[in-house]
Structure formats: structure tokens, C-alpha cells
Structure 1
Amino acid sequence: MTDHQTLSLILGLIRSGAAVTRPDLARRTGLGRTIITQRVDHAIRAGLVAEGEPAPSTGGRPSRTLRIASDHGVILGVLFGASQLHAAVTDLDGTVLADRRLAWDIEAGPEASLDLLHQVSAQLLTPQLAPRLWSVCVGVPGPVDFARGTAVQPPIMAGWHAFPLRNRLEAHYDVPVWIDNDANLMALGVWDRTRQSAGDNVLLVKASTGIGLGLISRGRLHRGARGSAGDLGHTIVAEESRVRCRCGKYGCLEALAGGWALGRDARAAALGGRSSFLAERLDASGGPLAVTDVLEGCRSGDRVCTELITRAGELVGAQLATLVSVFNPSTVYLTGLLAQVGEAFRAPVADTVARRSLPLAVDELVITGSGLDGCEGVIGAAALAVDELTQPDMLGRWLSGGNPRGGRARWTEDAELASADRPRRRSVPGKGTPP
């Protein structure tokens, strides 16, 4: 094992909390105490690791606990949804230092979206934070070629196919950049905060304007062979449906249960005189209704709005039930706008999953919200960026310079040849996974 491989393994164990003292690291990795001491001291000198309080003594001189020096750098995490932008600056542990949320139509195109991102990041990256920027990580609502940092034929992102997003961002910020699907980052963010209780096999459903899925399998983010894993919104739920999805197909889950579909159905209900609440909203808006109108109606007790949310939950639950039987997760997280109404959405999802899945698959299954107040995506962006920065090959490219800023040729070398599904050190610290 090379020096950088050993250091990468140690950093991963410390970050996960699986081993936070030198003796723990030696026991977990099987490496000698001398090697552990050398690598930990190297990490401390480099500013990557800091010592904390003495650990509880088990006899002899107590060892000090170790933690990632989270204030040594910052990450710019960005989530483009179908209808909004969330950008945040976090420390290396994913703690949000500053963030902004804006309404934004992803179909405005990549150039306009980049312009907005640069404007927002200029506000977030203050003179104190900007010199500490180590990486940028962006999530988009569509399939992503992770190795090349580009969206690939995304169903709802006109003009984004093969757009060189990572290259453009690296040229602008002069730091390493990673691009991934937004639900993937959200799944990483939730799992990063809950792995001890959630287990290593986790699903995250993002139900907002669109519907996406992030999947953690045995402590690894699962992207699939080509990066399209988790496209739950464009699975077919009604073969004979004549309801056309924005992807051009008919009968997709998103076309029947996504936020934009609920807005469409709410307008029909208002025009049909079935909801005075929605009729008033339609008159006041003078335009189309949005999913937020349905959510507010549900919270207000409007019968039609509640029915729309319940039906969406049942449809999502029906598709999710198949995944639960096939994948057998320990935890399913419900996030996004629809999840914000709580039990009105969660209960029909959970009930449908319970009815349609194998009994053993739901025996101890937990279906819950993330509890992260909509920040799971930017937390996941930070987790992914730091995980990639501390991979052995990346450490070899930037560590001697003190930080990953500048010198773009160092950290882009052979990047397009990297496998999007190469073994991840992230699997090492996971519960029940051996080193």
C-alpha cells in the first residue's frame, strides 16, 4: 500500500467516525503503529487532521482523539433542481456557513444557469472564504456521466446534453469540480449524517417538481454502469396513459405524481369547480398553479389538495415497493417539496410500500424524512468533494502544494479516463464493512 493510499484510508476512517484514535486506526486497518503514527503526523502537519481531547483510557497513556480539520478549506456545493437553485459554502465536514435559495427554471439553459451560479457564488464566497475554496460540487436533475462531468440526454434539461459543465467551472474557479445527479448528492448528504442509525443500504426519494432517487448500497453511492441509476421519475406506472411526460413518453411516474403534474391537476380542479381554495389561487395568480399551491391547500385542509397529495404518495409508494423488495434497504428517506407536508405524503407512501413489498423486506424498514431542512444536497456535495479530494490519486496531485487551489493540470490529468464506478474508500468505514 502506497503512502497516499494509507493516508486516504486513514482520513476516510476519521471522517466517518469509525476510528478516531491512533490505536483504533491500527486495529481497524491492520497496519503497524509506526505507519499509523507517521501518516497521522503527516496529516496533522498538512492541516488535514487535528487532535482533540484525550480518549477514554483503556489502560496506559490515553490517546488523543482525531478529527478532520474542517476549517482548513471550504466547499461550494450547488443543487440545481427543476425549478430552484440552492447554493452553499460549507466547511470540510459539510457544516453550512452561508447559503442561498432561488427560484430558477433549469430549462433556461446551461449558459444562463452558469451566469446565475457565478452571481450567487460571488455573494457567498466572501473575502474571508474565497481564498479557502478547495472544490466545487454541482448536482443537476438528470443523468450524469460522472467521469466527464456532463449531463447525458437529460429528459427535462434542454440544451444541457454534453455541455462541458465541469470544465467550465474548473476554468472559472480554478479548483477541482465534480458533477453528479442531484438525488445522488442528497442521498450522500443524508447518509453522511445518519449512517450509524440508517445502515449501509439506503434509498432517498426526492419528490419535488420532478422525482428522483439516490441509492446507497453497502456504504457506496450506486450510480450504475453509465450513471443513470435512480431515474425513478421516468419509470412507467400507467402503460395505457395518454398523459405525456416532459421527457416525451407517456405514463411516467413524474407525469402523474411530480410537482408539475400536481400543478396541472390542481388547475383542472379549480376550473372544474371542485376546490374553492384552488379557484381563489387561480384567480389571484392569473397564471398556472404550482405545486406550492397544492401543498398550502393540503396544510389548510382542502379536500382536493389532500387527495392530490395522497394520490401522489400512493403512486410513489407503488414504484418504491418494487425497489424495496428488490434492494431491501434498511431506511428510505423522503425529501423534496412533497415531503414537506409530512404525514399527508409519508403515510400513503409507507402504507403502499407495506402492502406491496415482501414481508421480510419491510419487517424493519424505516420510512422517514431527512431532518436536514432541505440542506441534504449541499451537505452531500461537500461529502462527495472531500471524498474525491482525499482519494489516493488526488492526494498525490495536490497535497504537496498544501491545498487543491490552482495548478489545474495537476488535478485534471487523466480525469476523463477515471472510472465512475471505481472502488470507493467510502465503503471502508461503513457499518459492517471490513477494512
Structure 2
Amino acid sequence: MTGPAWPIAALLVGYPLWWALGFGGLSVIVLAVPMAVLLWRRRPISVPRGFGLWVLLLAGYLVSGLMLADSPPGTHGELGAGRLLGYGMRLALYCAVLVMVLYLGNLTERELPQLRLVRMLGVLFVTTVAGGLLGVLFPGFEFTSPVELVLPDWIGGNSFVRNLIHPTAAQTQKVLGFSLPRPEAPYEWANAWGSNASVLLVWFVVGFCVYGRSRHRLFAAVVIALAAIPIVYSLNRGLWIGLGLTALYLIVRVGGRTRVALCGAAVAAALAFALSPLASLVAQRLDKPHSNDIRAFTVTSTLAAAGHSPVIGYGNTRNATGNHRTITTGKTEWCQTCGHPPLGSDGQLWLLIITQGFTGAVLYVAFFVGAIRRHWRDRSPIGLAGVLVMGLVLLYMFVYDGLVTPLSLYLVSFALLWRNT
């Protein structure tokens, strides 16, 4: 695509290439540079209502950097390259999505029609489904990206960085009592795949079903049917809950024949799923909530740690001493299951609380609640979809880390709502 909308097309439609190169979720940071240059030339710049909350969130994150060298009681670790890298990458992402929203909002309808932007998100959903099927059928698929080849070991060897730059099809975890691959391509984690799939599905339906012709709707039906396979095999309860609430939201908020059609489609889909082999897999997953104890431990430890710096947090995540089973810290030869995720890794809310204190969490929630309040009366398809995504953001913050790619999609959805006014 030529014209001023090319950075957005490069980000959404060209995402598979970014993933293969090793940039993936970091592509928004790269593309924020030309967006900022083009945006500067467009002065004066329009700003959406409520965006001051995001600026305050960013300013608070800068202040939280003062606490990077400190560790609260019950945690361990010293200031090192990993902690600084994590802080710097999150700061760059927060700045990049700020630039992206302003850039999208200052493009005219002629330069970037709303439907075109929605369909770009729909194309990324197709990419997401393809990546999910790759993870189901070829879970061992992975390769070394060009970015990995050029990065020094002290950067590329960091576990957080490696997840971002090393393309893999699936993430293998012990979920049902044995190891199973969970689709994650083309994103950084299996949970990121689940969050992105549900958000992109909303825009895919708007772009190809609501505003589509007969051939678009037929294509959409095939893609959604295929999407059911990785959605189930992702074993992602947060994704399943999100899809259930999405259906409920649409049935409540739309009326007339559309509501009847939605109810009929929901019943037909539920019946087809119940008769399929996928139903037993869902039943097994719900019967084995293996991660509940881990989440309970990390959330409790996060709140306890944040209580020692409730206003500005600690700038980055911390590792707790011990885990939900033992006081041992990390894996040992005699305890291979003693490792645990860092505090703040079980959801964006908990990440904000440990990194920016309760102040950061309040600002984040206020930003998306404000978007829902301002646009609730917008009953156009894009308005309904945008408010729905803002609601999913508030749901997922309890279970999903918004970094890296989910946050970009949340803010694109916010920009769509803003442009719709």
C-alpha cells in the first residue's frame, strides 16, 4: 500500500514477515519511528478524549524506573541486564502504541477508510488462524530468525527477549497431566495467541460478515470453522470465557432479526461442537485446572510485594522466593518443578501493580472504562465491536499479560472507536 497509511498496513497485513524476521511484537516499535516523523509533519495533532490517562501511565512508568535496583521482601535478584532490558522494552512499547494511536486518529477517512482498517485486522485474524493450525499440526516447528543471528548473547539469551525474537509454532506445557503443545504462532506466547485471536475475531466478523458480500461471508464461515480447532487445542480457558461473553454481549446489545440470527447461530455452533471430538478435550481441560495454584501464589505474592511500593511500583517484575509448593527458589536437580513465573506475569493488572504500583493499575483501568463510557451509545457495527474489545481488555487483564502484541491490538481498537466519532 502506498500513501500515508502504509505503516499500518505494514504492521497488520505484513505481520507474518515481521514474525519471520524475529521482530514480531516489536514491529510496532520499529514502525512507530516513521509514524512519528509523518505525524510531526501533520501538526497540529488531534488527541482523543481520555488520552491524558495514557500519558500519565507512561509518565508513571518513567518514575517507576527509580525503583529498578530495589527488591521488596519475599523476592530475590539484583539489578542486571535482564531487568534493564525488560524495563526498556516495555517503555518503548508504551511509547510506540501512543504514537500509533495518534497516527491512526490523524489519518483522514480518505487516507485510511474505517472498513479498510477493520479488514486489515481481519487479515491478521486469518494469519492467526493459520499460525494456530501450524501449532496444532506441526508443534515442533521453529527456526532461528535473522534478528537472533545478529544480537549478542547477553541480549538474545535473555528468556524474555528470546520469546519475542525466536519464531516457534507452539508452546509445550504440562496441562492435562502430560505435556501438550499449545499454539502460539505468530505471537510470543500461547496466552498472547488466545487474547489476539478473540480480539481479531471480533473485527474479522465486522469486516467480512457485517460489511461483506456473499463471497466474503462464505470465506468467513470457512475461516471461523477452521479457527475452532486451534481455539480448542490452545486449552485457553480465558479465551473460551471471552468468546462466551462476546456472544452474550452481542445477543444483548443487538436487536430485531439480528438477535434471532445470532441466537440460532450460537445454538447451531454449540450443537456442532458438542458432537465433535473437540468437546472431550475441553471437558478434560476444565476438569484439570492445573494452573490455579500457581496463579494464586503469584498474585498473592505480587500484591504483598507491591504493598511496599504502592504508588510507583518497582519498574519491572521480580522473582518470588519459593513457589506454591516449596520455599526452594528456582529449579534444582532434586526439584525440577520448583521454578515459577515472575511476579506480575499472570495478567496485565498484576504486571501494572508490581511495575507501577496501584496508581498505574488505576490509570490503565480508567483509560479503558472511559472509552466504554464515551462510546457506549455508538450502536454502529464498529462502535459495538470497539466497546466489546474494550470490555475484553478489562476481562483479560486478570489473566493475560497485555505485552507485547495484545496491547497493540487493544490500542488499534481504541483508535477505531475514536475515528468512528
The TM-score with structure 1 as length reference comes to 0.26
Larger radius of gyration: 1
Provide TM-score, normalisation by structure 2: 0.26
Higher helix proportion (structure 1 or 2): 2
Relative to its length, the structure with more strand (as a share) is 1
